[in-house]
Amino acid sequence: MVKEQEERKLSRYTGLALALIIAMIGISGYSIYRIVRVIRQAPKFADIVICDDCEHMFEKEHTADEKSPYECEKCGRRKAYKAFYCVTCGRHFPNLDPHSKEKIECPYCWSTNVEEQLYLPPKKPETETDE
Ligand SMILES: [Zn+2]
Ligand SMILES: [Zn+2]
């Protein structure tokens, strides 16, 4: 009777240990999978860029190695730079010199009250909608 209980206890521990080992293999396997994925896929960044030529603004996905100017998706020229927004005059403009230490100025009104454009502004509706 006592021996049987002992055996049952033992098998319960073995089962627990086995479950633990399986869980650990699963966790380490998952982290290896994640590391491999990170190595294989270079991290992507998304910037809102604007074309210096045709003023087309769009979201550009790029890796850390790809630097501006990017190819414009509308006119195809390599003239798309990070987009900035002028709070003073409300216009968007490209930041042609991202490494400049000087304050970024709006090329239209020379205001320095500018912000980096972080989101693609909603497309203007073609027709007026009732709201
Ligand atoms: Zn363009
Ligand atoms: Zn301005």
d(CA 88, CA 120): 19
| 60 neighbors 46 (Cβ within 8 angstroms) | yes
Note the Cα 111 to chain centre separation in Å: 29
In angstroms, what is the span from residue 71 Cα to ligand 1's centroid? Answer: 8
Give pTM, 2 decimals: 0.63
In angstroms, what is the span from residue 62 Cα to ligand 2's centroid? Answer: 28
* pLDDT one digit per residue (tens) for the chain, 131 residues: 566 777 777 788 888 889 999 888 888 888 888 877 766 677 788 999 999 999 999 999 998 889 999 999 999 999 999 999 999 999 999 999 888 888 999 999 999 999 999 999 887 776 665 65
Label the pairing between strands 80-86 and 114-116: antiparallel
Of the candidates 76, 92, 75, the residue with the CA atom closest to the CA atom of residue 84: 92
Helix H or strand E segment including 11 = helix 2-40
In angstroms, what is the span from residue 58 Cα to ligand 1's centroid? Answer: 10
In angstroms, what is the span from residue 98 Cα to ligand 2's centroid? Answer: 18
